[in-house]
Amino acid sequence: MKIIAMIPARYGASRFPGKLMQDLGGKPVIVRTYEATKETNLFDEVYVVTDSEIIFKEIELSGGKAIMSKKQHDCGTDRIAEAVEDMDIDIVVNVQGDEPFISKEGLEQVLSVYKGADADKIDLASLMTEIHDWKEISDPNCVKVIVDKENFALYFSRSPIPYPRDKNTAIQYYKHKGIYAFRKQALMDFYKLPMRTLEAAEKIECIRYLEYGKNIKMAISNTQGIEIDTPEDLVRANKVLKEENNKKSTPNNKYRNFPMVPKVVFGQGCFDQLSSILEPNRKNNAPFIFIVDDVFKENKLFSDRINLRFNDKLLFVSTKEEPKTTHIDEIVKDIKTEFNLNPSGIIGIGGGSVLDIAKAVSIMLTNKGSSADYQGWDLVKNKAIYHVGIPTISGTGAEVSRTTVLSGPKIKLGINSDFTPFDQVVLDPDLTQGVPTNQWFFTGMDCFIHCVESLNGTFLNAFSQSYGEKAYDLCKEIFLDDKLNEEESRAKLMMASWHGGMSIAYSQVGIAHAMSYGMSYVLGTKHGIGNCIVFNHLEEYYPEGVVLFRKMIAKHQIKIPTAICKNLTEDQIETMIDVALGLVPLWENALGDDWDSIMTREKLRDMYLKM
Ligand code: NAD
Ligand code: ZN
């Protein structure tokens, strides 16, 4: 008997869009499901069948087998039927793409029915689980099933079935689990049959089999997996995986091995060394592309210092909005259209926004698809092209970090990878002359907040601490003492930014960043201001840091916006909470492993509504 598993995978799930591509411990959910299914060793073949090129490529890249469906389908079963039509197989099991912890036991149970004496009568098999809680029994999202004495399904419903008229009779209720093992013939018979009224009323696909007289044998399985239906499920799943990995961790993978910027030049006026730094990296006919903040557009003195040669290109970008994945994709497309060779290098000149754009563009010139596909940890496959970062405002640490923060279609999240850091950084404090006071403060506070979050985090080690403490002290000197002249202050802030960035390389940021990401995603609030708005309300978590922060605000007479969350719609606030809670490592760093029992949705909502 040839038995295969098929995992139908739609990109746009209605309740949690893009959920199959969400990051689960460094791999997308769908890849986890595929690998878990394969590891059961119950199947001759395992396939993902999908309408999405992103999912198709992801599975192929991870060494799995994927099939593109040719047609639009209303349901996963039709998608499977199309895929197996010409395959020589006996039984096909459908595994839900959002069940990365699928258990071998459950799959064994559903297949075992084909070994029984009544096997010939069975068209398809499925699973059910005992349920006892009346809340679950009466929940319409939980599909109940009733069976005859041989465990053939009689009916599926969202209502409690049977109805318990006599409250004293003990009734065993069963919940249906969406795993099926079809005989190929039953599946092909069923394919294309129109939906009938019972199915339409209950919106339960398997009722159709009953309406057309098929025999569904139910097996009982009481193992609980985790289905990824909501962002909270994803958080839970990440936790489970982390616990499993901790058990498996060996001396060879316990500590992160991350790259640092290999070359850096520092000093007033060192910007003029740029040409001599770049030239050895020039490839024949391949230009350098200078991506520069458009605040410098009218500054002839400055642009004259950028020495364009051959077909080099100067590209001014606006930082009115923070970088978006769509913006990165556009720049990459334009570069590819204009030049038939990949550039010799990308040079980003500006604040955190431009540095992040430069990093992301250099990655996307050698990696296929959209930059949104790579938001997450270690999803980048190919080495980026040579890229150079030149900050013109200090604080973010983007010049030294392993990430490039982007707002994507679903989330604000960095492309965090070994290929992200710059190959070269030029630190010239003179370039930060002319930054307006407010902006100087907000970006500088990004550095201060990085340090507070890193130094108070549970991930802290001596490595992070030594960088964090230095940056923290520099910030106090710059923003609270009166001893520095402007030149010294600029140079020191540049180094504070660098150290602050290094401090989080081995640790993480925390609550202010998680919440400000949510705010920025929904309201477009800029990173520096968003951090300040949030941080001002975090005395419960960072008491000492918040006291110093308020002194700094007072000293420099900075106005922090208030009441910006007051008039949000329910949807907006929910999204804000989703984005913030999705940033699991930040919360873990801030509050430890049990963070989600401390930072509940309600608590987060209360905090946002005060801001
Ligand atoms: P920014 O790059 O958005 O620049 C802020 C403003 O300052 C802009 O209007 C810009 O035109 C102006 N500016 C820059 N240099 C100037 C100069 N020399 N003179 C006058 N004006 C100047 O702001 P930022 O605070 O540097 O960066 C914020 C961005 O950095 C956010 O997108 C955030 O997500 C990102 N970030 C990234 C990391 C990382 O590790 N990759 C870390 C923190 C923040
Ligand atoms: Zn930051």
Give the per-residue pLDDT at 250: 52
Ligand nearest the Cα atom of residue 586: 2
In this structure, the residue with its CA closest to atom 21 of ligand 1 is 435
Which helix (H) or strand (E) covers residue 77, if one does?
Answer: helix 76-84
Q: Supply φ then ψ for residue 126, to 5 degrees.
A: -150, 180
Q: Supply φ then ψ for residue 8, to 5 degrees.
A: -75, 135
- The single-letter code of the amino acid at 560 is I
Give me the mean pLDDT over the 402-409 stretch: 92
Q: pLDDT-derived band of residue 211, with 50, 70 and 90 as boundaries?
A: very high
Mark the residues whose beta carbon lies below 5 A from ion ligand 2.
446
Beta bridge partners of 489: none
Distance 228 CA to ligand 2 centre (A): 29
Ligand 1 pocket, CB under 6 A: 293, 295, 319, 322-323, 350-354, 356, 392-393, 395-398, 401, 403-405, 431-432, 434-435, 439, 443, 446, 527-528
DSSP secondary structure string for all residues of 201-224: HHT-TTHHHHHTT--EEEEE----
Distance 467 CA to ligand 1 centre (A): 21
Distance 275 CA to ligand 1 centre (A): 24
Assign 3-class secondary structure to 256-290: CCCCCCCEEEECCCHHHHHHHHHHHHCECCECEEE
Give the per-residue pLDDT at 543: 97
Terminal-residue alpha carbon distance, the chain: 63
Which helix (H) or strand (E) covers residue 249, if one does?
Answer: none
Which helix (H) or strand (E) covers residue 24, if one does?
Answer: strand 23-24
Atom of ligand 1 nearest to the CA of 404: 41
Q: Which two tokens stand for residue 496?
A: 């504070």
- Token match 């500054």: residue? 299
Report the distance separating Cα 353 and Cα 319, nearest Å.
6
- Token match 């499977």: residue? 80
Residue 601, Cβ density class (10 Å: 0-12 exposed, 13-18 middle, ≥19 buried): middle
Cα 138 to chain centroid distance, Å, stands at 34
Report the distance separating Cα 295 and Cα 436, nearest Å.
12
Q: How much is the pTM?
A: 0.69
- Token match 């092209």: residue? 385
Give the per-residue pLDDT at 464: 94
In this structure, the residue with its CA closest to atom 39 of ligand 1 is 398
CA distances from 344 to 53, 423, 427, 499, 540 (A): 30, 12, 21, 29, 49
Distance 394 CA to ligand 1 centre (A): 8
Per 3-state DSSP, the chain is made up of helix, strand and coil in percentages (nearest 5) of 45, 15, 40
Give the per-residue pLDDT at 13: 64
Give the per-residue pLDDT at 23: 87
Q: pLDDT-derived band of residue 247, with 50, 70 and 90 as boundaries?
A: low
DSSP secondary structure string for all residues of 44-70: SEEEEEES-HHHHHHHHHTT--EEE-S
Q: pLDDT-derived band of residue 339, with 50, 70 and 90 as boundaries?
A: very high
Report the distance separating Cα 389 and Cα 167, nearest Å.
72
In this structure, the residue with its CA closest to atom 19 of ligand 1 is 435
SS3 149: coil
SS3 218: strand
160, 128 contact by CB (below 8 A): no
Report the distance separating Cα 570 and Cα 296, nearest Å.
40
In this structure, the residue with its CA closest to atom 5 of ligand 1 is 351
287, 447 contact by CB (below 8 A): no
237, 102 contact by CB (below 8 A): no
CB within 8 Å of 18: residues ≥ 6 apart:
11, 12, 409, 410
Distance 556 CA to ligand 2 centre (A): 20
Which helix (H) or strand (E) covers residue 425, if one does?
Answer: strand 424-427
Give the per-residue pLDDT at 125: 95
Q: Supply φ then ψ for residue 382, to 5 degrees.
A: -110, 150
Report the distance separating Cα 405 and Cα 402, nearest Å.
10
187, 126 contact by CB (below 8 A): no
H helix count then E strand count, the chain: 23, 20
Ligand nearest the Cα atom of residue 528: 1
In this structure, the residue with its CA closest to atom 30 of ligand 1 is 352
- Tell me: the pLDDT tens digits for 277-286? 999 999 988 9
- Tell me: the pLDDT tens digits for 173-190? 999 988 899 999 888 887
* Strand ranges (E), 322-458: 345-350, 376-377, 387-391, 405-407, 412-416, 424-427
Give the per-residue pLDDT at 226: 78
State percent of the chain over pLDDT 70: 98
CB within 8 Å of 384: residues ≥ 6 apart:
359, 362, 363, 365, 366, 419, 420
Distance 436 CA to ligand 1 centre (A): 12
Atom of ligand 1 nearest to the CA of 446: 43
Which helix (H) or strand (E) covers residue 436, if one does?
Answer: none
User: Looking at the predicted structure, is the pLDDT value of residue 450 above 70?
Assistant: yes
User: Looking at the predicted structure, is the pLDDT value of residue 248 above 80?
Assistant: no
Distance 112 CA to ligand 1 centre (A): 60
Ligand nearest the Cα atom of residue 406: 1
Atom of ligand 1 nearest to the CA of 402: 40
In this structure, the residue with its CA closest to atom 33 of ligand 1 is 527
Tally the C-alpha atoms within 13 A of residue 131's C-alpha that lie toward its C-beta: 20
307, 349 contact by CB (below 8 A): no
Q: Which two tokens stand for residue 400?
A: 């030294």
In this structure, the residue with its CA closest to atom 28 of ligand 1 is 352
DSSP secondary structure string for all residues of 427-469: E-GGGGTT--HHHHHHHHHHHHHHHHHHHTSTT--HHHHHHHH
Distance 350 CA to ligand 1 centre (A): 7
550, 539 contact by CB (below 8 A): no
Atom of ligand 1 nearest to the CA of 405: 34
State percent of the chain over pLDDT 90: 71
Which helix (H) or strand (E) covers residue 391, if one does?
Answer: strand 387-391
User: Looking at the predicted structure, is the pLDDT value of residue 251 above 80?
Assistant: no
Q: Which two tokens stand for residue 181?
A: 């093992």
Give the per-residue pLDDT at 505: 85
Distance 201 CA to ligand 1 centre (A): 54
- Tell me: the pLDDT tens digits for 427-443? 999 999 999 999 999 99
Report the distance separating Cα 328 and Cα 427, nearest Å.
24
Atom of ligand 1 nearest to the CA of 414: 41
Distance 321 CA to ligand 1 centre (A): 10
Distance 450 CA to ligand 2 centre (A): 6
- Tell me: the pLDDT tens digits for 533-555? 999 999 999 999 999 999 999 99
Task: Identify which of 396, 415, 453 to mutate to test ligand 1's pocket (most ligand atoms within 8 A of the CB).
Answer: 396
- Tell me: the pLDDT tens digits for 290-311? 999 999 999 988 988 999 999 9
Asked, as a colleague might, if the bond just before 162 is cis with ω within 30 of 0, I would say yes
CA-wise closest residue to 604 among 568, 564, 574, 567: 574
On average, the pLDDT of the chain sits at 92
**Strands of the 376-377 sheet, one edge to the other:** 376-377, 412-416, 405-407
123, 182 contact by CB (below 8 A): yes
